[in-house]
Amino acid sequence: GLCTAHECIVSALSPSRNTSTLSDADRRPEPTPEEAEAYFAKFRQWLEAMPFMHIPMEMTAAALRREKPFLWTCIMNLTSMSVPQQRILREKIRREVADRLVFEGDRSMDMLQGLVAFLTWATMNAGPGMKPFLILYATLAQSIVFDMGLTRSPAEEQQSTMYFKIWSARPPPPPRVRTMEERRVVLGLWLAISISTSFIGKMETLAWTAHMDDCLAVLERENECSSDAVLVTMVKIQLVGEEVQKLMRRKINESNQNPTYIFKPGLVSRLNEIRSQLPDRLANNRNILLLLHCTESLVHSIGLFTEQGIPESVRINSMYSCTKHAKTFYDIFFAIPASEVAGLPFAAYVEMSHIQANLYRLTTAEDKAWDKDILKSTADLLSLLDKTIELFYRVDEVYPIRTDDHDGTLFTKGAKIL
């Protein structure tokens, strides 16, 4: 069905170009130092969409490789312009995960940030014939977070370690000081997993803790980097999105439960508060706006396509609101320059799949009070899919990844399936 169109896009994601353009250089196991610097510069730009880490301006790819070799490998895999090279780097990442994380018990910021990058741009490594990794890597990243104690305050962490050291003659060490780097990465991981969970449905989101609330508050208050406000805002929006997913999963026939649609006003109010607190410089930030309009569309869809007896005026108002936010979502998406679509995080495609699913349900809803002509003139799903296909072909022209795959690139495959 149309509502699964994005699943097809994701399953087709494996970038490529005409095989005749492949050279020996494209089959190198890793980029040259010059290519690495160019790819690193590209990743800096991509990172603005989901800033789970801060890269100092003076940092070079060569310096990053010395400091955090696993993160460097993950960044090169995501940004490489050669599919054979991406494949080699992808296998290297899998081996390093097995060796360093499982065999050697490495619990480092290098491993954690590398996995969060890989999960945040998961689209670059998904596709037919590729080994699944989303649930595995998300779970491994969570295990690092737990081992490093990043979901609990250093004082809580010290308390629990003291139980193990109760018989030790040595005095307990003072509580660790939580770093900004740690705060960003735990929130970035939560965001990546929460958004992925809403799409896959096979795994649980990383549990939100009081300490993560503290991390959010500190990042917002200190405003150490301009990108911190983007991360904070997206996490706040997704916390509402997480509430929506819980309500969506609730069984309709659970007695003792209030109908889910009564929670809408409170969730809309939270989103309005986030919107009103947006600093002027972020008022037109497309990644924030895409997540905001997708989440608001989902909020308005709560209870709509169920047996709940929603009053007609409330129901129709919600259907119009769903449609309005879907239209705004696509207006923002189609305004993104084709050359920048290539670097969109996985979240953008998950959001699109939610919007498509909502529009499909609105299109097929059998409700006499619902005026489908307004839907068609506002957000017609078929014409939106056509525009998406055109965009993907345009992206393929301006982001020429070289491949040995005769089926075309990540984007041409997605366009063909759509």
pTM: 0.89
- Fill in the DSSP letter of residue 279: -
Q: What is the pLDDT of residue 393?
A: 87
pLDDT of residue 1: 43
Coarse DSSP helix, strand, coil percentages of the chain, rounded to the nearest 5 percent:
70, 0, 30
Q: How far is CA 103 from the centre of its chain?
A: 28
pLDDT number for residue 56? 96
Res 173: pLDDT:
65
Which residue, 191, 181, 209, 165, is CA-closest to 59? 181
Nearest to 31 by CA among 62, 67, 63: 62
As a whole number of angstroms, the longest Cα–Cα distance in the chain is 77
Q: Where are the domains of the chain?
A: 23-165+174-225, 259-418
Report d(CA 345, CA 365) in Å as an integer: 31
Nearest CA to 230 among 184, 193, 190?
A: 184
pLDDT digits (tens, 9 = 90+) for 2-40: 444 444 444 444 344 444 456 666 678 899 999 999 999
Rounded CA gap, 303 and 258, in Å? 11
Q: What does the DSSP assignment read for 223-255?
A: --STTHHHHHHHHHHHHHHHHHHHHHHS-TT-T
Residue 157 Cα distances to 166, 178, 218, 321, angstroms: 14, 11, 19, 45
**Which portions of the chain are predicted below pLDDT 50?**
1-20
Specify the pLDDT at position 10: 41
